[in-house]
A and B are shown apart, each in its own frame.
Chain A
Amino acid sequence: MNLFLLFLGAALVNNFVLSRFLGICPFLGVSKKVETSLGMGAAVTFVMGLASMISYIVYAYILKPLQIEYLYTVAFILVIASLVQFVEMVIQKMSPSLYSALGVYLPLITTNCAVLGVAILNMQKNYSLIESIVNGVGGAVGFTLVMVLFAGIRERIENNELLAAFKGLPIALLTAGFMAIAFAGFQNMI
């Protein structure tokens, strides 16, 4: 039950994009089409889940015993960067269309603060291995959910007449703000 609450909390209440405001770059960049946002979400989910697991192992079994915890940022980035490289190769092989659709945002998962954020949060809250993975995957699912919702709204907006001043990013940022307010409604759920 606790794990379920942790999952829900990571996905909805403390949503990475709309409550913690992490990972905004791909949120705005790859959210023009539902399909690509779903692909991006899947890639981030994979990276975040694995990153939580491996960074936990690295932190608990390498950094802690050697008492070099202060190197966690370097170690985590190393883990994340390698994972992203791996994901990039896999996507290029499996789905070239998704690869070209994600474009520059795929390598940018490396510097996605949501991914580094989940690893550091896991460490700060002293989560166990299972809790870390649940938190990571939960956060990523929340990220994907918000991405897809946002992309859906943007696709609708695309088909409407807008004032010239609102076209493109301004209306997207406004939408993101309203979505953040909506997600604030989850705040007292848990």
Chain B
Amino acid sequence: MDITAIIYPVLSIGGIGLLFGIGLGIAAKKFAVPVDERVQGVKDSLPGANCGGCGFAGCEAFAKAVVSEEAKISGCPVCNQDQINTIAKIMGIEASSSEKYRAVVRCQGNHTNAKPKYDYSGIQSCHDAALVGGGNKVCGYGCLGFGSCYGVCVFDAITMVDGLPIINAEKCVGCGACKNTCPRSIITILPAYASYNVNCISKDKGKEVKAGCSVGCIGCGICQKQCEADAITIANNLAEIDIEKCTRCGKCEQKCPTKAISNLLNI
């Protein structure tokens, strides 16, 4: 056997490889992309589960978004406070600037409190029930109680009690999925520090509210008179509390004749 049969292939293929290798090495220097070392740091502080809960393609994509300031450092729903603090340190921002939100159900019309308009036996979903004669409750604003919000909550934060969603404030991350699915727009997203809240959105007159529900806001204005911080306004027969002005004195809750106001922090 001719030894050249081995040497030529080795030399030629090896030579080509070497040539391309050197070429690529030079190209790598020339086309080097400066990688922000903060991206690596943020990525290392993240849980690394690539769950996509932040809305990005994975932890690396989220880290890049954080560094380019497209995402908030608190955007990761899985991170605990320590991890967020670490990321904040890398980014040089105060972690306390992040704000937590929670969903709030603005209706107390469960099966006991709110009267049904008719006996509904169609598809058991709020959207379908809302289509039939404006819903199966006398109140045209209140919760229909079929638990569409319960179905969309991926954080297991909603439980249905007597035909009314109860939100677990600890589990709720304020993603707004329940708010978006509710056909009655009963659920709102409020900052976690919000305390006193009017649990009714009925704009009906007091008499009509009374006819359908025992715990609705009748727009009587007692809370407005009681409020020491001028935080309550009455519009369209409905009281609204400005959470920025509220001093948490609690007089509105005590004096409300229909018990429509409650302290969210106590639930």
A residues engaging B (CB < 8 A)?
Answer: 58, 62-63, 66-68, 71, 74-75, 78-79, 82, 85-86, 89-90, 92-93, 96
Contacts and interface: CB of A to CB of B under 8 A. Distances in A.
A68 B20 CA distance: 20
Contacts of A62: 12, 16
B25 to A, nearest CB: 10
Interface in B240-257: none
Q: Name the prevailing secondary structure of the B interface residues.
A: helix
Nearest to B61: A100
Contacts of B16: 58, 62, 75, 78-79
B31 A93 contact: yes
A119 to B, nearest CB: 14
B167 to A, nearest CB: 32
A127 B12 CA distance: 22
B8 interface: yes
A78 B13 contact: yes
A82 B20 contact: yes
B24 interface: yes
B27 interface: yes
B9 A86 contact: no
A141 B12 CA distance: 32
A78 B20 contact: yes
A58 B20 CA distance: 12
A74 B13 contact: yes
Given A68-B9, A79-B16, A90-B27, 7 more contacts: A66-B8, A68-B12, A78-B13, A78-B20, A79-B20, A89-B28, A93-B33
Contacts of B9: 66, 68, 71
A63 B11 CA distance: 11
A36 to B, nearest CB: 14
Contacts of B53: none
Interface string B29-68: 0011100000000000000000000000000000000000
Contacts of A71: 9, 12-13
Contact of A75 (B8, B13, B31): B13
Contacts of A75: 12-13, 16
B23 interface: yes
B191 interface: no
A96 B31 CA distance: 12
Contacts of A68: 8-9, 12
Nearest to B20: A82
Contacts of A67: 8
Nearest to B16: A78
B31 A89 contact: yes
A92 B33 contact: yes
Closest 5 CB pairs of A and B: A82-B20, A89-B31, A93-B31, A66-B8, A68-B9
Contacts of A63: 12
Interface string B1-31: 0000000110011001100110110011001
Nearest to B21: A82
Contacts of B27: 86, 89-90
Nearest to A85: B24
Nearest to A63: B12
B24 A86 contact: yes
B23 A82 contact: yes
Nearest to B64: A100
B20 to A, nearest CB: 4
Contacts of B28: 89
A92 to B, nearest CB: 5
A67 B31 CA distance: 37
Nearest to A71: B9
B196 to A, nearest CB: 46
A89 B20 CA distance: 14
A99 to B, nearest CB: 9
15 contacts: A58-B16, A63-B12, A68-B8, A75-B13, A75-B16, A78-B13, A78-B16, A82-B20, A82-B21, A86-B24, A86-B27, A89-B24, A90-B31, A92-B31, A93-B31
